[in-house]
Amino acid sequence: MPLTSRKFRLLFTTAVFVFTGTAVFLTWTLFRTVEESVQPVVVDTRVRRAIDGILVDPSDATSRSVGVLIDGMVDGRPTAGLSAAPLVWELPVEGGITRFLAVYPSDALPEKVGPIRSLRPYVLDFASEVGALLMHVGGSPEALTRARTFPLERLNQFFDDRFFWRSTDRRAPHNVFTSQYLVTSAFTERKYARESVFTPWRYQNESVVNADGNGVRVAYSTSSYTVEWRWNGSRYERFMGGVRHQDEDGAAIDAKNVLVQFTSIEILDAIGRRRITTEGEGKALVLTAGSTHEATWKKIVGDRTRFYYAIPEYPATAGMKGNRCKDTVGGADSDHNAPAQIPCGSPQGRVHDTLTGEEVALQPGTTWIEVVPNNGDVTIVQSQITEDIKN
């Protein structure tokens, strides 16, 4: 039967509708498939922060360093805010005690940092390595004399009290603190430079390869000032006086890298004030990523201290007391038998001999530098394997 005009128009309209719908559906499907197959490229624009190698926004990478000289004396414990410092030097002072030069980015201090103590001349050298604004409470006569002409900006609580505060629950002189708010106020009022310019450390991608599990013990004087760093599989845990070192808020103190810098330390007077050699070169130990390396340190005027893997021409073991073939496994056993001896060349040897002469590459994160005399009492500890490396 022939199609009527009306039926023809109906069939034609239906066909056009079906064709158009199909075309739209196929086009939408095609574009959706292409859109899903082309994923946006996310570019990580972060860079390593100079002070600790942590990845940050480029605007924060060179944030000005602030060094705070914190009390290490038993009477000054517990500390506040020390666990948050990405870089710390532990330095001997008179009486067998130590102080901490804790360095923070100027925009990342805790709300309580201290107790803050008095300046010593060699602290100026270490603080200047990272272009820090240095905060302290007075100082020894030699330190204050040197500081007057030393090219380093400082805040001395004796004259800049508004940037410090005293706690009422501690006894003087162990009760002076500062905070992020007060540091920010100082930068605003004094118009300090907001960036530090210094050569950053070398950093490697965070990994643990061929870890030997070594730790290190440093006896600055009595047991109260004996420090131990223990590897826990991802970082080094700090112990002081035989107990876990924690801030007053319970925050534990850990590090990704521990450097031991041996140098000449001279006692100057009956009080026990020290003169510490901060330039030249000497031996060192580097603990990073669970591995211990013999190293050397070198510093020239205008540069930071650099640590290098030991080279055959100048091994870090030069002058060290003790035979490397006499590593000891644990102490006496449950039957009080003598500890076993590890033969030379054993895979349980205490250090990695990375004899390349290259500058040490650190793990991103917190670094502690233990400054000790050339004849310092330093012991490498690996689980239950120890070796005395005193001079």
- For the chain, give the mean pLDDT: 82
| CA pair distance 68, 88, nearest whole angstrom | 10
Pairing of the two strands 133-136 and 154-156: parallel
State residue 37's pLDDT score. 54
Residue carrying the six token digits 């924690």: 246
Could you tell me if 284 and 316 are in contact, meaning their C-beta atoms sit under 8 angstroms apart?
A: yes
Which residues partner with 113 through β-bridges?
A: 178
**Assigned token pair, 302:** 């205008």
The pair phi, psi for residue 182, each rounded to 5°, is: -70, -35
What is the arithmetic mean of pLDDT over 180-187? Answer: 97
Higher pLDDT, 62 or 81: 81
**Confidence check: pLDDT of 208 > 80:** no
Residue extent(s) of CATH 3.50.90.10 domains in the chain: 55-190
For residue 85, the SS3 value is coil
**What is the per-residue pLDDT across 33-51, written as a single tens digit (0 to 9) for each?**
555 555 677 788 899 999 9
Measured CA distances, 68 to 132, 137, 249 (Å): 9, 10, 18
| CA pair distance 26, 36, nearest whole angstrom | 15
CATH topology of domain 55-190: YerB-like fold (3.50.90)
Residues with Cβ within 8 Å of 306's Cβ and at least 6 positions away in sequence, in order, are 297, 298, 299, 359
Q: For the chain, how many residues are written?
A: 391
**Confidence check: pLDDT of 75 > 70:** yes
**Confidence check: pLDDT of 315 > 70:** no
What is the arithmetic mean of pLDDT over 321-340? Answer: 31
**Confidence check: pLDDT of 351 > 60:** no
**Confidence check: pLDDT of 30 > 60:** no
Q: How confident is the model at residue 20 (pLDDT cuts 50, 70, 90)?
A: low
| CA pair distance 391, 381, nearest whole angstrom | 17
**Assigned token pair, 95:** 């009486």
Specify the amino acid at residue 369: I
Residues with Cβ within 8 Å of 10's Cβ and at least 6 positions away in sequence, in order, are none
Which residues partner with 298 through β-bridges?
A: 281, 306
**Assigned token pair, 318:** 């030069």
**Confidence check: pLDDT of 348 > 70:** no
Higher pLDDT, 19 or 347: 19
**Confidence check: pLDDT of 81 > 80:** yes
| CA pair distance 213, 235, nearest whole angstrom | 10
Q: How confident is the model at residue 210 (pLDDT cuts 50, 70, 90)?
A: low
**Cβ atoms within 10 A of the Cβ of 169, count?**
5
